Amino acid sequence: MAIFIIRMNGFDRFHNTSPIHHMTEAQPIQVMGIHNPFVLSLQDPENTTWTSGVKLKLSCMEKCHIQAYWGVLVHPFYHQLYSQWQTFEARVESHELFANSSKCSSERVWLDEGQEQCLTFKPPSHATAEWETETSRPRSRYPLVVVVVTVSETAAEELQHQPHKIMAYVAVIHVKDSTYPEQSCVFSQFVKTASGQVCTLQQMYMSNEPSSTATDYDDVGGGTCVVCQQAAVTHTLLPCRHACACHSCFRHLDKCPMCRGNIESYFVIEGVSEARETEDEETSSTLIHRPSLMTRFHQLNDRLTERLGFT
């Protein structure tokens, strides 16, 4: 009865007279959608070693060739990676790419447009023996670098009008050995554009469950907002890279709902239309603006005080 007496005397210690509206102050970043024609994955990483070789699966949407380089020095790798595209392409064609900074390289494998192929790269025995002597920490060489280059018939003059076209894909792969026994994995991926720009590929973490309201937008992602559990995901939070919030719920966030990390910036997933944002807002508004626990408690209190005759 204490709370009813307090309310009757005009004191409400349980009501927040200055509610806090959580509104993210993160600044959006502008992103540009670029079509990546290459998808590379490491097969059977648990059993991947220098002696067994590395099994890769490559899917390509353009005609290309792939080549593996073993034991590449770190500093020369970045020096050549960030060179101009014409310089990079010339080194590839003349077999000079990483020629003086790697222990050995594989033969080129050519793939046609739309082809998917499983490949196995295995270093020669002398390279494996030399690598076993590399026991320093940290190492000065990357175990394996894989380079996929587009075979383009586009003239250099035309490429100037396509500066964001991806011309090469580069993957740095850790191969398990006695010094670093951690499981083999692809730990760095880069794409190189016609303008010479190098972009690092990073994974975006999205909800696995498809949205119950997603129909025409399934190709965008299809993840469900982790806040309202109804609308489709539209926003990716940075720096955690969690794609987890719809348009409406995002406006009420000050931290990532998945990892509780600070939201420094964000971007809207490409392909999200105004219609989708409106749909998300309508779907989640009833959940976001439903009566709070304290509001429901006050409603119950009003009914009780009326029944007890205090009104």
pLDDT tens track for 125-175: 999 998 988 888 888 999 999 999 998 776 566 667 778 889 999 999 999
Of 32-41, 225-234, 263-272, the one with minimum mean pLDDT is 263-272
In the structure encoding, which two tokens stand for residue 237, read together?
Answer: 């939070």
pLDDT given for residue 309 in this prediction: 67
Position with higher pLDDT, 161 vs 100: 100
What gap in Å lies between CA 59 and CA 134, rounded to an integer? 33
pLDDT above 70 as % of the chain: 75
| Domains in the chain, CATH or no CATH each | 38-200 (no CATH), 205-288 (3.30.40.10)
Cα separations in angstroms, 18 against 179, 293, 296, 299:
59, 16, 18, 20
Is it the case that residue 63 has pLDDT exceeding 80? yes
Identity of the amino acid at 176: K
| Mean pLDDT score of the chain | 80
Question: Could you read off the pLDDT of 182-238 as tens digits, one per residue?
Answer: 999 999 999 999 888 999 988 888 766 544 443 333 344 558 899 998 888 989 999
What is the DSSP code (8-state) at residue 47? G
